[in-house]
Amino acid sequence: MLQLFRRPKLVYEIAPVREDWVLGEDKVPESRAHDLVVETLRDLLVAWAQREGRRVAVCRNLAVRWDEDHPTMGVDPDVCVLEPPPPEGDDLMSLKLWSTGHFPPVLAVEVVSASRADKDYGQSPEKYAANGTKELWVFDPKLAGPKTYGGPFRLQVWRRDAADEFERIYAGAGPVWSEAVKGWLFAVGEGRSLRIADDEAGTVWWTTNEEAERAAKEAERAAKEAERAAKERFAAKLRELGVDPETISK
């Protein structure tokens, strides 16, 4: 079941198979800006999974297929989180939900492209409703979405409830809570990038492993610089008192 709007409520059945859901072999080329958003988000989710000790797979552009009789039907999210990870590990070629050990994504993310905004706003939620995805983020950094669906919206969050209905629970500028990762989603950098924080105020930001390592090195460098400056001030004070700092160090 798919629920599009909260007022008025619009709920309708989703057919699991449609001809326009066939996954093509050729990928639509994406801009570098699009890739940077997706790469950062993937890295944030990888670091989150490691911090939380979650046994998950974080994938980019993985084909998700859900009908064994129509295996060409599917969707390839920009990023998705699989929990538990499929048994194939890094050898996974595509997620086939009729295969043993393959389960619907707990989270899927679509970053809207101007060239296919209609599909990202319209077809994408329907596909994820059909395949059992637990939560979907639709991020529109350039506000390229059509007015057909009430947009454009910087952020949309769709979530599956206990009755298996897939509902859009948020559409707006953010921040918005994600139940899937237990964090707050923010559109930052004039809305061009998607980041995650522990709190709604955005005071504790999530970092990628690379960002955390860089911050640690910067903190170490700053500590060493502070220690050096303190030693220089101490030496200068000794000189004012007529004491040679070298005699102290000896």
CATH of domain 2-206: 3.90.1570.10
Check pLDDT > 50 for residue 8: no
| Crossing angle (nearest 10°) for helices 209-240 and 32-52 | 80
The larger pLDDT score, comparing residue 24 to residue 186, is at 186
How high is the pLDDT of residue 29? 58
pTM: 0.81
Which of 149, 174, 177, 164 is closest to 2 using CA atoms?
Answer: 164
Check pLDDT > 60 for residue 241: yes
Check pLDDT > 80 for residue 59: yes
Q: Where are the domains of the chain?
A: 2-206, 210-249
Query: What region, left, alpha or beta, does residue 242 occupy, with left being phi > 0 and alpha being psi -120 to 50 degrees?
Result: left
7 pLDDT band, cuts 50/70/90, is: very low
For the chain, the first-to-last Cα distance in angstroms comes to 79
- Of the given ranges (63-67, 97-101, 156-160, 240-244), which has the lowest mean pLDDT? 240-244
How high is the pLDDT of residue 150? 83
Which of 226, 112, 234, 125 is closest to 170 using CA atoms?
Answer: 125
Q: How far apart are CA 45 and CA 25, in angstroms?
A: 27
The larger pLDDT score, comparing residue 225 to residue 135, is at 135
How high is the pLDDT of residue 76? 94
Report the percentage of the chain scoring pLDDT > 90. Answer: 62
Q: How far apart are CA 102 and CA 98, in angstroms?
A: 7
Name residue 115's amino acid.
S
How high is the pLDDT of residue 12? 57
Can you tell me the mean pLDDT for 156-172? 94
Can you tell me the mean pLDDT for 229-244? 81
